[in-house]
Amino acid sequence: MDIIKKIKEAGLKGRGGGSFSTALKWELAKKAQGKEKYVICNAAEGEPNVFKDKYILDNYLEDVINGIKIAKNFISAKSAYIYLNKNYTISEDIGDIIIFKKDSGYIGGEETSICEAIEGKRVEPRRKPPFLTESGLFGCPTLLNNVETFYCVSKIAKGEYNHSRFFSINGDVLNQGVYELREDITIFQALKETKNYPEFDFFAQVGGGASGEIMLPQELNRPVFGAGSITIYNREKTDKYELMEKWAEFFHTGNCDKCVPCREGAFRIYEMIKERNIDYDKLDSIFFSLKKSSFCSLGKSIPLPFESLIKKIR
Amino acid sequence: MIKLKINNIEVSAKKGESILDVAIRNGIKIPAVCRHSDLEPQSSCRLCLVSIKGRDGFFTSCSTNVENGMEIITDSPEIKKLRKINLELLFSQHIEQCSQCNWKYKCKLLSLAKDYNIKITKFNDRKKSFKEKKFGPSIVFDSSKCIDCKNCVQMCEKQGIGYLTVKEKDGFFQVVTDSSKECVYCGQCITHCPSGAFEEISSIEKVEKALEKKYVIFQFAPAIRSSIGEEFNMPYGSISTGKLVSSIKKLGAKKVFDVSVSADVTTIEEGNELIERLNNGKNLPMFTSCCPSWVRYVEIYKPEIVKNLTSVRSPHIILGGLIKTYFSEKEKINPKNIIVVSVMPCTSKKYEILRDELKVDGLRPVDYVLTTRELGKLIKKNNIDFKNIEEDALDSPWNKPTGAGVIYGNTGGVMESALRTVYEKLTGKKLKNINFKEVRGLEGVKEAKVKIGNKNINVAVVNGLGNINKIDLKKYEYIEVMACPGGCIGGGGQPIPINNEIRKKRAQSLYKIDSGDSVRMAHDSLTVKMIYKEFLNNKKNIHKTCHTTYFPKNK
């Protein structure tokens, strides 16, 4: 059975946070016309409290490389890149796969920004369409997947795939770390099984340490989403302003400043929270504009943590 | 042909057109601040949002192309709300200095603020402490007015320079200058900036002071006559030579001369030099040198071809030199008491006049340069009713330009004038068809093969500095380069806005003057003939007023 059928049967979806069908992406990249093609493994992993890609690279590098090679072979790519978080290292010999160290903020992990970075240009997102599978790196069809996705492909190819997924669990927990669990596990079960379910009143941030949604204990009976992280906060002991200030600073300094709502909006959010002087009318306006008129998905995702925290915890 | 609906009105469009362009063409107003038709869409101001039936969310119409059957809505309560918020955010980073601004009453931001009834001070000004930076004697960048659209950066890259770039500073990616590069002062950042953050360094006050007590002579470039009217809300391309003269006279100038006349001297000298180089085969291709940004670019970035630049001075420098020698002698005025003011479509000319090697008998040929915009400001400041003022005539002896001198303002104009003269000089025959249409128009690179007697001359016209790297220099004998797209009519000192439609109208007017002129050859000009007879009759005078040297900078 060929690989694409196997991926389809496994129902694999991208593990970077976007959950796009891997088989469909691969087929698009294969069908696309282009003199050259490229494969990129996104190992930029830039959000706070998300470390699962690092864990996979440190422990299962061979499978990641194998997955990249299968992809390269499948679309007949000229070369493959690993776009690597600047604090991560790969010291093993990985053949002709090129390591490109990320040298930019959070935005540097967005897929079109990655192409700009590798091409030596200013790191900011491109307009979509065209999508990377039509016109990506150097204007050529490009297949970009997350580290974990390539790992899964390797497992699928070897017949070892057991529908597991990696979760970063951290914050006010006893056993923080990266865990490989069932992909459809609920947040509640993940906390229980890893002996991390708090005994105090808490809230969780799920799906990313900055852009993740705030969830209350009674909301945890659903699968983990986004980049697969769960961060636990002691409800009583956590300074909510401090927490929001951390996110706001992360977005304000990590974005690319290309479009008005994200450049100016993220800054104003940071300013208001830092000064502990929030004008909720202004804040709502900015959130509205971010969600509806930002250039890329990063900008669109900024309001979620703030809005969910303010709504649920205030 | 694509058929689509905008606000339920059926319109047709071509494949590859943006929604914004189609809407504008059909008279549907969509606000768009950062869009400039010369550049790739930045989609950064997020004002030109529209919604498309059957698709989620909003789309920037500048960067979304039309498709068959699309149904587009350009306005709704949600779209209004988004535009309002984004406008307020744009104003939060823009220090308003409206009274001084290049855009003044033409400012898109300000008129949108009224249309959307926003409070421009809703947020405190985040750029309060942002500084000004001067680029040589030509341009000033006030970063507190910058709205970060990065059009200037894209344009500077397109010009092949990259002096303007983006760097991270204090949590923001900001427009900064790259210290490893040098600005060539073309001023295209000014004409592509929607928020007035770039302007020429003003010489208005100095000129005003000179007008009070000196013998001030104004001279204006070929390209001014078809653009200055825009400063007074006249239609694009209005020819207003006579109004220009009378307005300048009202300011107190003693004489007003036309640089087109000395452009004919440039043509004759340059033609002679080309013939000489063609004969001895040395330093070919020969490049034009009227454009000071191009000269500066060669000296800094392509020093190896400095020897290929013609040694002929640019027209206004020649005329300034003639004023302070030939004219002053004739009129018995001490040249030290003469102040020559050039009205130029150009910011780079402010730099050119400071080049020491251009001095004639120890004096600078030109003392001050005003851009077209500055002259417009000065005329307004003096309450002169430009639009309705009675026309006046230029002063003798530089009052009768040829068509060849006037088209210098267009890309390809220097080439065309030179070809007309070189043809007749080399063959001794009258040129039958004097319109060299191959070198006209707004393409980035134009080329022509011209048969002159038994010689085939290959020429190229580079329109826009960045295009110099697109041609193989070895293929040509003669190359014209103008840094600004469109040539001087699209210069960095010209009225804004500027786009290809406007460039075409300004250019057409210059060609119209040329085709209506009875004398269309530089060497047929009676004025020029007289000057050669009376003053430029020896090598020494020709050399000191018409030729110069260049200095390759070793980087």
**pLDDT tens digits for range A200-241:** 999 999 999 999 999 999 999 999 998 899 999 999 999 999
A147-177 pLDDT per residue, tens? 999 999 999 999 999 999 999 999 999 999 9
Q: What is the pLDDT of residue B470?
A: 96
Say whether residue B148 is in contact with chain A using an 8 A CB cutoff: yes
**Closest CA relative to residue B391, chosen from B241, B276, B274:** B241
ipTM value for the complex? 0.93
Q: Residue A260 and residue B82: Cβ atoms within 8 Å?
A: no
Lowest mean pLDDT among B298-302, B317-321, B450-454: B450-454
Report how many Cβ contacts below 8 Å link chain A to chain B: 76
In chain B, CATH 3.10.20.740 covers 2-75
pLDDT of A19 strictly over 90: no
Please, are residues B514 and B254 in contact by the beta-carbon 8 Å criterion? Answer: no
| The three-state (H, E, C) secondary structure of B442-480, written as one string | CCCEEEEEEEECCEEEEEEEEECHHHHHHCCHHHCCEEE
Q: How confident is the model at residue A17 (pLDDT cuts 50, 70, 90)?
A: confident
| CATH of region B98-200, choose from 3.30.70.20, 3.30.360.10, 3.40.50.300, 3.40.1190.20 | 3.30.70.20
Point out the residue among A127, A256, A288 whose CB comes nearest to the CB of B85: A288
pLDDT of A122 strictly over 90: no
Provide mean pLDDT across the span B380-390.
Answer: 97
Q: E strands within B136-191?
A: 139-142, 164-169, 172-177
Its CATH class, for the domain covering B204-546, is: alpha beta
Please, are residues B33 and B83 in contact by the beta-carbon 8 Å criterion? Answer: no
Q: What is the pLDDT of residue B162?
A: 97
In chain B, CATH 3.30.70.20 covers 98-200
B508 CB-contact burial (10 Å; exposed 0-12 / middle 13-18 / buried 19+)? middle
Q: Residue B44 and residue A295: Cβ atoms within 8 Å?
A: yes
Please, are residues B128 and B192 in contact by the beta-carbon 8 Å criterion? Answer: no
**Closest CA relative to residue A283, chosen from A258, A259, A257, A309:** A309
B402-454 pLDDT per residue, tens? 999 999 999 999 999 999 999 999 999 999 899 999 999 999 999 999 999 88
Average pLDDT, chain B: 97
d(CA B244, CA A240): 66
Q: Residue B85 and residue A263: Cβ atoms within 8 Å?
A: no
Integer angstrom CA distances of residue B18 from B21, B23, B63, B247? 5, 9, 6, 42
**Closest CA relative to residue A43, chosen from A101, A100, A83, A15:** A83
**Of all residues in chain B, what percent carry a pLDDT higher than 70?**
100
The residue of A113, A128, A259, A269 whose CB has the most chain B CBs within 10 angstroms, and thus the best one to mutate to test that interface, is A259
B486 CB-contact burial (10 Å; exposed 0-12 / middle 13-18 / buried 19+)? buried
Provide mean pLDDT across the span B221-237.
Answer: 98
Provide mean pLDDT across the span A254-274.
Answer: 97
Say whether residue A257 is in contact with chain B using an 8 A CB cutoff: yes
Q: What is the nearest CA distance from A285 to chain B, expressed in angstroms?
A: 7
Say whether residue A260 is in contact with chain B using an 8 A CB cutoff: yes
Q: What is the nearest CA distance from B502 to chain A, expressed in angstroms?
A: 28
Q: How confident is the model at residue A104 (pLDDT cuts 50, 70, 90)?
A: confident
A30-53 pLDDT per residue, tens? 999 999 999 999 999 999 999 999
Return the amino acid letter for A102. Answer: K
The residues pairing with B338 across neighbouring beta strands, listed in sequence order, are B215
Q: Which residue has better confidence, B37 or A129?
A: B37
B8 CB-contact burial (10 Å; exposed 0-12 / middle 13-18 / buried 19+)? exposed
In chain B, CATH 3.40.50.1780 covers 204-546
d(CA A176, CA A231): 9
Q: E strands within B281-331?
A: 286-287
Q: What is the pLDDT of residue A107?
A: 80
pLDDT of B554 strictly over 70: no
Q: What is the pLDDT of residue A1?
A: 65
Chain A residues closer than 8 Å to B172 by CB: 257, 263, 267
d(CA A259, CA A255): 10
Q: Residue B86 and residue A258: Cβ atoms within 8 Å?
A: no
pLDDT of B555 strictly over 60: no
Average pLDDT, chain A: 95
Q: How many residues does chain A have?
A: 314
**Of all residues in chain A, what percent carry a pLDDT higher than 90?**
91
pLDDT of A145 strictly over 70: yes
d(CA B537, CA B264): 16
Q: What is the pLDDT of residue B171?
A: 92
| CATH of region B2-75, choose from 3.20.20.80, 3.10.20.740, 3.50.50.60, 3.40.50.300 | 3.10.20.740
Ordered domains of chain A (ranges, CATH)? 3-157 (3.40.50.11540), 164-234 (3.10.20.600), 240-313 (no CATH)
Residues 284-313 of A with CB under 8 A from B: 285-286, 288-289, 292-295
Q: What is the nearest CA distance from A141 to chain B, expressed in angstroms?
A: 21
**Closest CA relative to residue A39, chosen from A133, A152, A151:** A133
Say whether residue A253 is in contact with chain B using an 8 A CB cutoff: yes
Provide mean pLDDT across the span B309-326.
Answer: 98
Chain B residues closer than 8 Å to A282 by CB: 122-123
Q: What is the pLDDT of residue B173?
A: 94
Provide mean pLDDT across the span B115-128.
Answer: 95
pLDDT of B483 strictly over 70: yes
